């Protein structure tokens, strides 16, 4: 079976591949600066990216997380899935010791964590 990919799709794939494989893939955490946690809870899995703005003024990923849901967890609502991730992940436990501000970002514009769900 031959796979066909249009020129536009190939270009998009090469751009994403370049962004994910070239420096800085991960930035070193600076613990006296604020962090942002971007979480995407889909039907089958949850993905998260811990971000931090560095000296260049751009948010860089510090850590990635993804977890595939079991058959029971797939029945959770999207909110419960995101909450499940933050409550069960070790990062969520660490964040409880800090002052955390939660902001909802609509799924269609929350592309950072969602990118982890693409092959």
pLDDT score, position 119: 42
Q: Is residue 46 part of a domain?
A: yes
Q: Write out the residue range of the structural domain in which residue 45 sits.
A: 26-117
The pTM (predicted TM-score) of the whole model is 0.57
Q: Model confidence over 24-35: pLDDT tens digits? A: 678 888 888 888
pLDDT score, position 90: 58
CATH classification at residue 48: 3.10.20.370
Confidence at 56, pLDDT banded by 50, 70, 90: confident
pLDDT score, position 112: 59
Average pLDDT across the chain, whole number: 75
Distance of CA 112 to the CA centre of its chain: 5
pLDDT score, position 104: 66
Two tokens, residue 90: 């070790």
Q: Is residue 40 part of a domain?
A: yes
């Amino acid at each position: 079976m031959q796979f066909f990919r249009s020129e536009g799709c190939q270009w998009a794939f090469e751009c994403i591949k370049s962004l994910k494989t070239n420096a800085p893939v991960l930035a070193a955490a600076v613990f006296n600066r604020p962090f942002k946690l971007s979480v995407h809870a889909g039907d089958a899995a949850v993905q998260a990216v811990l971000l931090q703005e560095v000296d260049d003024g751009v948010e860089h990923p510090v850590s990635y997380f993804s977890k595939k849901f079991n058959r029971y967890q797939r029945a959770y609502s999207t909110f419960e899935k995101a909450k499940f991730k933050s409550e069960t992940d070790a990062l969520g436990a660490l964040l409880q010791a800090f002052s955390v501000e939660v902001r909802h970002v609509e799924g269609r514009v929350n592309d950072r964590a969602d990118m982890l769900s693409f092959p």
